[in-house]
Chain A
Amino acid sequence: MVTISMDIQILFAGALFLTGLVGLLVRRNIIFMLMSIEIMLNSAALVFVIAGSHWMQADGQVMFIFILTVSAAEVSVGLALILQMYHHYRTLDADAINRLRD
């Protein structure tokens, strides 16, 4: 079906990963940092599926399902932590919690 070489597809996934990495490094709002982590996980899963469709194996899609599981667990725990942080500090700035105790 699609006749693009694997290089360009992986280049696309890498560009998406870099987008997420730049977002993680630039933004200080912790919700945006979590969203950038989501973008990075998604692009890593995209590489798995690209490789699986290149070699005609189902293993890449199985790996995508595992990455989906990890991502769901990470998001639930991370959002609960963000709620606790907002209730304690009344801010979403990641630099506000750079001390272990206040």
Chain B
Amino acid sequence: MNTIFYITATVAIVSSLIAITNRNAIHALLYLILSLLSISVIFYIIGAPFIAALEVIVYAGAIMVLFIFVVMMLNISLEEEQENKWLTPRMWIVPSILAALLLIIFIYVLKEFKYEQTTAEIIGPKQVGITMFTKYLLAVEISAILLLAGIIGGYHLGKQKKKVIHRFLEKTKKI
């Protein structure tokens, strides 16, 4: 288990470093997703399976998809002949090695470790839910308000404003 932690931590740090030094935004986002997946493995092996699932579903599944949508909407064309660059081996050999490491660890964990060995230290979703909805109920409501503000802010800031110059405003501008 300790070896798994070290390997996964190395994968996380290396892929984060590549993500922040990459020039292509889509490649950087894919490396960032790889980093989030490896952090989810770490969550799983330190005894938080619910948080590991949330990390994959919400972070890697929802937030990163938002990023990718925006990058594709902006249509940032860095270089031409990108298609030719994707086919060269050095573009895909590093992410393939890192992702294959995670896959090997995943298969190893599923084969070798029985779930009964680890039930003593796992904090499951039931305990998390009970704590969240009794002790931190006020914080849950505040975060609901925060999400509402995020929805309204995203809608208001993201919509395209048509530039309508009113006649009255034009007249006042001339004066």
Contact = CB atoms under 8 A, between A and B. Distances in A.
A83 B158 contact: yes
A59 B134 CA distance: 11
A26 B161 CA distance: 33
A29 B71 CA distance: 12
Main secondary structure of the interface of B (DSSP, over half): helix
A48 B54 CA distance: 15
Given A64-B51, A83-B74, A1 B32 contact: no
B46 A53 contact: yes
Contacts of A12: 9, 12-13, 42
B45 interface: yes
Contact of B36 (A4, A22, A42, A49): A42
Interface stretch (B58-66, B80-88, B94-102, B167-175): B58-66
Interface residues of A, number: 57
Interface residues of B, number: 64
Interface in A12-35: 12, 15-16, 19-20, 22-23, 26-27, 29, 31-32, 34-35
B127 interface: yes
B147 A73 contact: yes
B39 A92 contact: no
Contacts of B28: 32, 35
Nearest to A42: B39
Given A42-B36, A53-B48, A80-B158, A1 B67 contact: no
16 contacts: A1-B118, A9-B5, A22-B20, A31-B67, A35-B20, A42-B59, A49-B48, A52-B123, A56-B121, A56-B123, A73-B149, A76-B151, A77-B150, A77-B154, A80-B154, A83-B74
Interface of A: 1-4, 9, 12, 15-16, 19-20, 22-23, 26-27, 29, 31-32, 34-36, 38-39, 42, 46, 49-50, 52-53, 56-62, 64-66, 68-77, 79-84, 86-87, 92
